[in-house]
């Protein structure tokens, strides 16, 4: 009888893992069904009411977010608007951009998607050239830069594409992961596994912010200027 090939062994391992995972899910469902079977009508009614209340509260929160401009990626016209927008929302992502910077258009595309997915967070964009006071105050030196704000305070920055795999072709999931690292969105993935780590061409480590500190001038992240 021929010995198993590496492919056969791998297939058996995967089949066993799938079988074990399925067994765990089935056991969990059986436990939940048993728990429901043991409940009387009053307990079931109380459970139903709690779930309805939770759903109602969730819908109310969603409507409140939408009323404050969440759920869409939009531009604010001035620095003054920035302070008001930040004041009324717990989580804010603000993209400091410039019309002539191609990478800002790439960032726009991904932020548009994430704004619709994560309505718990407000997604804004602000023209850096029209916001000299804010750029100086927040030390915005490289375009694009995302300011990640919680409770009215800037907690973190995404500067250029360094934290996104150092490529223009980063995925929306990669940016979502990076925002999750800053706890500015409700991220359901594994923060310990960046989406680009499995792709060799994108590198294999998360690089902390690498800001250019060129006095008195804002540079594109794709610029060759030093």
Task: Compute the average pLDDT of residues 183-193.
Answer: 93
Whether 49 shows a pLDDT value over 70: the answer reads yes
Confidence of residue 147 (pLDDT cuts 50, 70, 90): very high
Confidence of residue 136 (pLDDT cuts 50, 70, 90): very high
User: Cα–Cα distance between 84 and 226 in angstroms, integer?
Assistant: 35
- Between CA 30 and CA 37, with CA 51 as vertex, the angle to 5 degrees is 30
Residue by residue, DSSP assigns 112-172 as HHHHHH-TTSEEEEEEGGG-HHHHHHTT--EESEEEEEETTEEEEEEETTGGGTSSTT--H
- 113 token code pair: 């998607």
Provide the pLDDT for residue 205: 41
pTM above 0.75, yes or no: no
pLDDT in tens, 80-128: 999 999 999 999 999 999 999 999 999 999 999 999 999 999 999 999 9
Residue located via tokens 């718990």 = 120
Give 93's strand partners.
Answer: 123, 148
The pLDDT score that the predictor gives to residue 125 is 98
Residue 220 lies in a domain: no
Question: Looking at residue 178, which CATH number applies to its domain?
Answer: 3.40.30.10
Please compute the mean of the pLDDT values over residues 29-37 and round it to a whole number: 71
- 164 or 32: which leads in pLDDT: 164
Residue 136 lies in a domain: yes
Residue 78: inside a domain: yes
Q: In the predicted model, is pLDDT for residue 4 greater than 70?
A: no
* Between 200 and 91, residue with greater pLDDT: 91
- Rounded distance between C-alpha atoms, residue 96 and residue 173, angstroms: 20
Whether residue 204 lies inside any domain: the answer is no
Matching residue, tokens 């409770």: 151
> Would you state the pLDDT for residue 94?
98
Asked, for residue 125, whether it belongs to a domain, the answer is yes
The answer to the question of residue 198 being in a domain is no
Question: What domain range includes position 167?
Answer: 71-182
Where residue 70 falls among pLDDT bands split at 50, 70, 90? very high
Distance CA 15, CA 222 (A): 46
The pLDDT value recorded for residue 213 is 32
156-159 LR contacts (CB < 8 Å, sep 24+): 156/181, 156/182, 156/184, 156/209, 157/209, 157/211, 159/209, 159/210, 159/211, 159/221
Tokens 């750029």 identify what position?
Answer: 135
> Taking the mean position of all CA atoms in its chain, how far away is CA 156?
13
According to the model, what pLDDT value does residue 223 have?
Answer: 54
Write down the mean pLDDT value for the chain.
83
Angstrom CA distances, 83 to 74, 77, 149, 180, stand at 15, 12, 11, 23
Number of domains in the chain: 1
Residue range 74-92, pLDDT digits in tens: 999 999 999 999 999 999 9
What three-state secondary structure class fits 205? coil
Give 224's pLDDT tier (boundaries 50, 70, 90).
very low
- Establish if 143 belongs to a structural domain: yes
| Pick from 100, 81, 97: nearest CA to 89 | 81
Are 170 and 158 spatial neighbours (Cβ–Cβ below 8 Å)? no
2 located within any domain: no
């Amino acid at each position: 009888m021929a010995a198993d090939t590496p492919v056969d062994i791998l297939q058996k391992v995967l089949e066993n893992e799938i079988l074990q995972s399925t067994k765990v899910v089935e056991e969990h469902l059986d436990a939940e069904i048993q728990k429901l079977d043991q409940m009387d009508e009053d307990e079931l009614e109380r459970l139903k009411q709690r779930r309805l209340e939770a759903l109602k509260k969730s819908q109310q929160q969603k409507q409140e977010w939408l009323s404050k401009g969440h759920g869409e990626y939009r531009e604010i016209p001035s620095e003054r608007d920035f302070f008001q927008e930040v004041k009324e929302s717990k989580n804010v992502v603000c993209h400091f951009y410039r019309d002539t910077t191609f990478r800002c258009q790439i960032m726009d595309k991904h932020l548009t998607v994430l704004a619709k997915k994560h309505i718990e967070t407000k997604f804004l964009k602000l023209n850096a050239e029209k916001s000299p006071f804010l750029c100086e105050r927040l030390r915005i030196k490289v375009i694009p830069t995302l300011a990640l704000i919680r409770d009215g305070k800037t907690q973190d920055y995404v500067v250029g594409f360094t934290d996104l795999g150092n490529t223009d072709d980063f995925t929306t999931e990669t940016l979502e992961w990076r925002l999750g690292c800053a706890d500015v969105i409700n991220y359901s993935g594994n923060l310990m596994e960046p989406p680009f780590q499995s792709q060799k061409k994108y590198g294999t480590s998360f690089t902390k912010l690498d800001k250019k500190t060129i006095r008195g001038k804002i540079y594109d992240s794709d610029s060759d200027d030093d």
